[in-house]
Structure 1
Amino acid sequence: MSLFDDDFYSTRVSRRAREDGRRDWRFGGRGGWRRWRGEGGLRPVHLAFISSMVSALGAVLLFGLIFGFGRGGGGSGAVVSVAGVSSADTAERIVQAASRVEPAVVSIINEQMLPAGGRFFRPEKDRDPDEELTLQQASLGSGVIFRKANGKANIITNYHVVEDADQVKAVLASGEVREAEIVGKDQITDLAVLEIDGAGIETVAAIGDSRQLRNGETVITIGNPLGLNNSLTMGIVSKSRRIIPVSLAQNGIYDWEQEVIQISAPINQGNSGGALVNLSGEVVGINSMKVADFGVEGVGFAIPMHNAMPVVEQLLDLGYVPRPYLGVYTLDLEQYWEQQVYEEWLGAEEDGEEGGDAAEEDDLKLPEDVKRGVIVLEAVGPAKKAGLKFNDVIVKLDDQPIGSTMELRKYLYGSKKIGEKVKVSYYRGGKLETVTVELAEKIDEEEEE
């Protein structure tokens, strides 16, 4: 039985063809072979004709294999063109892309003043205040050399790679260790820029347009996972644009959102700050994080370069990213209600009474329909100057409802500028009030707005 249902693709001889003297399968029908062969075999003219036909057919097939059939045209041409990209070609592109970027990827060593045994073996409260501290390696990460000027080379890495560092070192692809200076860092975007001596550095990574990435596109990660210098992993772009919640304080409370590229290539400890590379050998992202949960594999994230480079330029120019600053330490109202429920339950367990005294200590005095907002724990700077106080509950900035610290940050950073004024609507003692605050410039890394 044929693999095809259509007789056009079948090698079977139809009944009609047999009844018609097999005219479709023999040159000239009955006796046709005799007329072509003659009495002594094929004539020279016939041999020449057949030879010419075979040569012409071979030339057409060879031309098609080299240049592609119907490459500029319709449906079947497109299929042949895609099939013409061999796995060998893709493998060679991966090798070439990695070779272009790999020399520009460095290892980053975060060194901190720590007691003997390191901070991870003994809580700070249990340390002897007179104990001698020494400079020790606290963590490892990766970085990418992206610029060389005035005898210096600049490196992009993650904020969390150099966080709390007393000294930073960069290990080049050659194995040479160089002192690195932190030019600037930004916790919100998890980016930092370092500077090292540029002598002998020949390779600077090319920056690509991450907006051109497509789902399913092959990408490479280059970094320093688990302390293994310049390791390569490969995967695909699972999602070219993904918005994920981020806990800036690493306390499980999401207070920011980050746009990232989701990839299937593994990102292990030490890979943060390394390069996400397309098959053209361009850096399209900075590896940042992964989902570290039981049973989860191949879910990594990188910061897209079209978002990273404006931040990098500001870090190079100013050492920080200027943002509008309201000046409040906050707690989400929803989180406050959850704490109240827990304290009531705990009080009931301890006292054997329903609710205890927790409800009586609630002095927010909010209307029953107010369920979302931001509680001011402390007002400083512009907010204090405008009159905001402890336990004020912010529910709106200008005409934008505010239900969480994340929403407050997103509105300020996305819609306002330094020096502009913002109208703050808040509840105090159960009464809705408004105040106008002039936004200042925030230049530190404090967890406040």
Structure 2
Amino acid sequence: MSFDDFDKKPKSRFSGSWLASVVIAALVGSGTTVVLVPELIKSNIIKLPQVTQTWSNSGNPVSVTPVSVNTDIVKAVNKVKPAVLTVVNLQKVRGFFGSPEQEAGKGSGVLLDNQGHIVTNNHVVNGASDVQVVINNENVPAKVLGVDAFTDLAVLQVPADKVKDIQPVQLGDSNALQTGEPAIAIGNPLGEFDQTVTVGVISAKNRTIPLQDSKGQVIYEQTVLQTDAAINPGNSGGALINIAGQLVGINSAKIATQGVEGLGFAIPIDEAKPIIDQLITNHKVTRPALGVSIQGEVASIPASYKAGLPINYGVVVGDVASGSSAAKAGIKSGDILAKIDDTQINTFLDLRKYLFSKKPGDTVQMTLYRDNKPQTVKVQLGELQN
């Protein structure tokens, strides 16, 4: 069979006038379209892609259509990025010509409101003789309103007119975060790459990391969010945000050990906010105090030294400050503090963390052991002197 055999099929019963009608209708339609299309485009009813013409190596034109990407992550970043600022730590150095100030380091900070309040880490401004914040390429002097070493937080303030064109960050709910949801870190890594964005997930909640004083002694255990979004030196004090562009954490630390990747930490905003509020209002954080030093932990005492002691937990009281809450309650050196209210105390950090959940003036019940015998005392907590 050849292709010519198709011409031998019976002709359609429709007359040739049908085809002519179609052709005429098409021509009329095309004519109408030719008239209407320019007007539809001008009225933005029909949208055409923007086409950019470039030239290949061979000299032939190549059409490129740009792609507009506006994902939720991009929206969140654009919403928050202007509020993440560079914080400069200036310190005086001794020299032949007096004590000029030099830049000791840079970190990040987040604009909280239109009054110019900025939150950052305590270690970003620690030791500074002066602090500056880079706003629109201008180094603006900042006042350190207050710092808190126990949570590694600090609040600065710059003149309100310097931030009038910047939208402050919106606070989120860190307690509502779920492991695996997107986490976006914005900061100033290495003090050079301002408003750098890295993206990961919330790797875990309620982690704890030790905080040390200037002597290297652990003074507190900070509850943190863990994320695999890259956090590098200079990111400290920057923003960890959720997909809605809300601040859920203050970037604080990372584990920088060979072979370890993706272990960054941020202070949850729900824990940071009460501290921030106190630093803005009172310029310090008010915490309760018991008035004792701790010699050690019962669990680490050799068995020969605790014969007859019915428990293997608690902490051993060292010095008791004269006139302190502990002294007034009759607590003595050598007593073993085992419980506060119904909370068992295993370490000095357990004791401090429970006390810090209270306020000065609160009354707690303490279970202690003296001469291997239990007794309970009520203690009205005093105020910790920073």
TM-score normalized by structure 2?
A: 0.72
Aligned-partner Cα distance in 2 for 1:42–1:256: 94
Measured after TM superposition, the shift of residue 157 of structure 1 is 0.6
Q: In the TM superposition, what are the counterparts of 1:86-101 in structure 2 within 5 Å?
A: 88-90=69-71, 93-101=72-80
Aligned-partner Cα distance in 2 for 1:335–1:307: 30
Tell me if the contact between 2:250 and 2:267 (Cα under 8 Å) persists in the aligned partners: yes
- What residue number does 1:274 align with? 238
Aligned-partner Cα distance in 2 for 1:385–1:110: 43
- What residue number does 1:410 align with? 353
Q: In the TM superposition, what are the counterparts of 1:3-402 in structure 2 within 5 Å?
A: 88-90=69-71, 93-115=72-94, 135-149=101-115, 153-163=116-126, 165-201=127-163, 202-211=165-174, 212-239=176-203, 241-249=205-213, 256-333=220-297, 336-337=300-301, 365=306, 367-380=308-321, 381-402=324-345
Tell me if the contact between 1:226 and 1:269 (Cα under 8 Å) persists in the aligned partners: yes
The percent of aligned pairs where both chains have the same amino acid is 36
Deviates more, 1:197-206 or 1:290-299: 197-206
Aligned-partner Cα distance in 2 for 1:205–1:373: 46
Give the paired residue count.
332
Measured after TM superposition, the shift of residue 429 of structure 1 is 4.2
Measured after TM superposition, the shift of residue 273 of structure 1 is 0.2
Q: Deviations over 1:393-418 (max 9, x none)?
A: 2112233321112221232233x442
Tell me if the contact between 2:189 and 2:196 (Cα under 8 Å) persists in the aligned partners: no
RMSD of aligned alpha carbons: 3.7
Tell me if the contact between 2:292 and 2:326 (Cα under 8 Å) persists in the aligned partners: yes
Go from structure 1 to structure 2 and tell me whether the alpha carbon gap of 1:189 and 1:246 turns closer, same or farther (over 3 Å shift). Answer: same
Aligned-partner Cα distance in 1 for 2:106–2:296: 34
Measured after TM superposition, the shift of residue 431 of structure 1 is 4.0
SS of structure 2 residue aligned to 1:199 = helix
SS of structure 2 residue aligned to 1:265 = coil
SS of structure 1 residue aligned to 2:113 = strand
Go from structure 1 to structure 2 and tell me whether the alpha carbon gap of 1:367 and 1:162 turns closer, same or farther (over 3 Å shift). Answer: farther
Q: Deviations over 1:350-409 (max 9, x none)?
A: xxxxxxxxx7xx6xx553543221122322221233333333221122333211122212
AA matched with 1:196: V
Measured after TM superposition, the shift of residue 106 of structure 1 is 2.0
- What residue number does 1:26 align with? none
Tell me if the contact between 1:96 and 1:281 (Cα under 8 Å) persists in the aligned partners: yes
Aligned-partner Cα distance in 2 for 1:257–1:41: 91
Aligned-partner Cα distance in 1 for 2:92–2:298: 39
AA matched with 2:363: K
Measured after TM superposition, the shift of residue 96 of structure 1 is 4.2
More strand, by proportion: 2
More helix, by proportion: 1
Aligned-partner Cα distance in 1 for 2:237–2:347: 29
SS of structure 1 residue aligned to 2:69 = helix
SS of structure 2 residue aligned to 1:148 = coil
Aligned-partner Cα distance in 1 for 2:143–2:299: 39
Aligned-partner Cα distance in 2 for 1:36–1:424: 107
Aligned-partner Cα distance in 2 for 1:401–1:264: 33
Go from structure 1 to structure 2 and tell me whether the alpha carbon gap of 1:104 and 1:39 turns closer, same or farther (over 3 Å shift). Answer: closer
AA matched with 1:377: G
Measured after TM superposition, the shift of residue 203 of structure 1 is 0.5
Aligned-partner Cα distance in 2 for 1:432–1:214: 43
